[in-house]
């Protein structure tokens, strides 16, 4: 897992007034859970840019002003519903011998056979939750789609596990290759063309029969004369 360092300051007051003052000063109130005690701290909002606005998962090295260093990981974040300002961030303290649950992004590899044949790849779940020791948490969950044909589905149970476990059922769908609308339309058009050709042949056959009948009537009439 990638690592990122954030510098912060412990918060002495955690009330609404103090929290609002921090936000007005361009800082974000944060909390670290999971250790012997809950740690309240704040840090500049800009220091979270590389942590939040990316699909990557980071192991955060939190350095406090008093010299304390804490290993943690992002657990939850709250944004303002209108301005998208970061309102609050929750972290969870990491310990090398204690497993942790985290949401990891999915990364597809390869070019599916079904896509080459006109199908469309649909990624149903772009992030999956796993449980592992901090040192074994992957940056991505790689999914090989190169052998997928039209109609094939890739599930959690199809992924080979390494040093982590999924917190999902094996039947949970990750991605699938579906028939495109264009392919369906082309197939319908071909069927309609075949029906039109058969209909045309039938009409031609009917016209030939009518012509033959008319010829017979004329022949019979001439013999009576």
User: Parallel, antiparallel, or unpaired for β 27-33 and 86-93?
Assistant: parallel
Distance separating alpha carbons of residues 5 and 209, to the nearest angstrom: 90
For residue 13, the model assigns a pLDDT of 81
32-55: string of b/e by CB count within 10 Å (b at 16+)? bebeeeebbbbbebeebeebeeee
**pLDDT by residue for the chain (225 residues), tens digit each?**
789 999 999 998 888 898 999 999 999 999 999 988 999 999 999 999 999 988 888 999 999 988 899 999 999 999 999 999 999 999 999 999 999 999 999 999 999 999 999 999 999 999 999 999 999 999 999 999 999 999 999 999 999 887 899 999 999 999 999 997 655 444 344 444 444 444 444 444 444 444 444 444 444 444 444
If you classify domain 101-181 with CATH, what class do you get? mainly beta
How would you write 122-168 as a 3-class SS string? EECCCEEEEEECHHHCCCCEEEECCCCCCCCEEEHHHCCCCCCEECC
Instruction: Tell me yes or no: is domain 2-94 CATH 2.40.240.10.
Output: yes
Query: Do residues 176 and 124 lie in contact, with contact meaning Cβ atoms separated by under 8 Å?
Result: yes
Question: Same topology for domains 2-94 and 101-181, yes or no?
Answer: no
Domain ranges of the chain: 2-94, 101-181
């Amino acid at each position: 897992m990638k690592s990122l360092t954030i510098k912060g300051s412990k918060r002495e007051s955690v009330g609404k007034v103090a929290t609002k003052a921090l936000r007005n000063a361009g800082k974000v109130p944060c909390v670290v859970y999971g250790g012997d005690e809950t740690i309240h701290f704040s840090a500049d909002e800009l220091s979270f840019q590389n942590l939040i606005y990316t699909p990557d998962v980071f192991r955060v090295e939190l350095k406090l002003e008093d010299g304390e260093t804490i290993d943690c990981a992002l657990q939850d974040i709250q944004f303002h519903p209108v301005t998208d300002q970061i309102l609050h961030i929750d972290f969870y303290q990491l310990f090398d011998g204690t497993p942790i649950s985290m949401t990891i992004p999915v990364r597809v590899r390869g070019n599916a056979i079904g896509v080459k044949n006109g199908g469309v790849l649909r990624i149903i779940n772009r992030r999956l939750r796993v449980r592992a020791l901090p040192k074994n948490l992957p940056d991505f969950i790689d999914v090989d789609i190169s052998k997928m044909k039209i109609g094939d589905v890739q599930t959690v149970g199809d992924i080979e596990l390494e040093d982590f476990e999924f917190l999902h059922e094996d039947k949970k769908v990750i991605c699938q290759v579906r028939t495109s609308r264009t392919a369906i339309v082309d197939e319908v058009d071909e069927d309609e063309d075949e029906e039109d050709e058969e209909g045309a042949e039938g009409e031609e056959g009917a016209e030939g029969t009518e012509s033959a009948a008319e010829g017979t009537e004329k022949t019979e009439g001439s013999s009576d004369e």
